[in-house]
Amino acid sequence: MKNYDFQNQPKALLTPEIVGLLTQIHEHKGRQSLFIEANPDVLNTLLEVARVQSTGASNRIEGIFTTDKRLKELVKDKAEPKNRSEQEIVGYRDVLSTIHESYDYIEVTPNIILQLHRDLYSFSNASVGGRFKNADNVIAEVNEEGKQSIRFKPVSAYDTKEAIDQLCQSLRTALLDGTYDPLLLIPMFVLDFLCTHPFNDGNGRMSRLLTLLLLYKNGYIAGKYISIELLIEKSKETYYEALQDSSYDWHENKNSYEPFVKYYLGILLKVYLEFERRVEHLRVRTLSKPERIKMVIDGKIGKISKREIMEACPDISKVTVERTLTALVKNGDIKKVGAGPGTAYIKAEND
């Protein structure tokens, strides 16, 4: 069986690049409390936007979709789910809320993982919720010709319970020992969880929920306000490449965690950079909403989409953004490029 070694393997991860990422994240974490204490109203706005983005993105990664309008209604508990996709979206919403509200009191144990997985499917008629897989599964990929091949064979159903027991115990022991930074141990745990693949369904979404839980418990809470799941979705190809690179020879205990750890640390650094940028932007309440939209465009190198503008200005309505963009284009302040879903805007070149 796989040896979940969090006592010795992290040492190999202390490369100059990873240490540099850790240093930067620690610096941002040091400023985290200052932003949180000084800007409660701003954070409430970011929190509500991030809940919608996280719920939508984590489900879309797994091919679970609904419309933007329905997503907002479901996350804000203003609508009942109409189909299986929406049932799973609402389940994610509830587990995310549980973690946001109670992370200090939730330990990462096999029973807790099962309970969170149960709640993930609490709106669904599926019988998979809260149970480890009852049949061996594989991680497959489909090539350009549509042919499916096995990319990775996870732990067998028979060995899954024992594997998750050992994985959780190894993480707990390493965190209590304190030899290695939790930011090294958390992505190692996530990779091992994904390679173990303990459920018939929901492994990817559970891995992201457990990522948030572990980050929050170790003091890294910017992910409550900036969606980690959305950043993963935007870099999905890189995510899967890192996962594949770090899973080679996993069963033989010869795999390298480095690609996956670097990817996760890069995502977390982006979260903190975006967190500080958005808080500073939302603090500029003395400017009018059109002026703030113009400021976002001016601060962007290259083109920017309407969606990106709305993500940067979560308190400004879609109608206001659209009216402002129309006015800015008409006045010659910005230029519209592309069409349809590819529409974007760039700063006008003024002599």
- Rounded mean pLDDT of 116-143? 91
Share of the chain above pLDDT 90, in %: 79
Q: Which residues lie below 8 Å from residue 68, measured CB to CB, with a gap of 6+?
A: 56
Residue 345: pLDDT over 50? yes
What are the φ and ψ backbone dihedral angles of 38, each rounded to 5 degrees? -90, -15
Other CB atoms within a 10 A radius of the CB of residue 8 amount to 11
Residue 351: pLDDT over 60? no
Nearest to 347 by CA among 329, 330, 335: 335
Could you report the per-residue pLDDT of 45-100, keeping only the tens digit for each?
899 999 999 999 999 999 999 999 999 999 999 999 999 999 999 999 999 999 99
CB 231 within 8 A of CB 53: no
Positive or negative, the CA dihedral 338, 343, 344, 346 is: positive
E-assigned strands of the chain?
Answer: 139-142, 148-152, 334-337, 344-347
DSSP string, 317-328: -HHHHHHHHHHH
Please tell me the pTM assigned to this model: 0.89
Torsion, CA 229, CA 234, CA 238, CA 243, rounded to 10: 20
**Weakest mean pLDDT among 182-186, 189-193, 338-342:** 338-342
CB 267 within 8 A of CB 232: yes
Phi-psi group of 143: left, alpha or beta (phi > 0 → left; psi -120 to 50 → alpha; rest → beta): beta
Could you report the per-residue pLDDT of 279-329, keeping only the tens digit for each?
877 766 568 889 989 989 988 889 999 988 988 887 788 999 999 999 999
Nearest to 187 by CA among 272, 245, 136, 251: 245
Residues of 307-331 as b/e, b for ≥16 C-beta within 10 angstroms? Answer: eebbbbbbbbeeeebeebbeebeee
**CA separation for the pair 183, 19 (Å, rounded):** 10
Residue 146: pLDDT over 80? no
Torsion, CA 80, CA 81, CA 86, CA 87, rounded to 10: 110
The gap from C-alpha 265 to its chain's centroid, in whole angstroms, comes to: 12
Tell me the HSE value of 208 on the side-chain side, using a 13 A CA sphere.
Answer: 28
CB 297 within 8 A of CB 290: no
Other CB atoms within a 10 A radius of the CB of residue 135 amount to 7
Q: Walk me through the domains of the chain, giving residue ranges and CATH numbers.
A: 9-282 (1.10.3290.10), 288-347 (1.10.10.10)
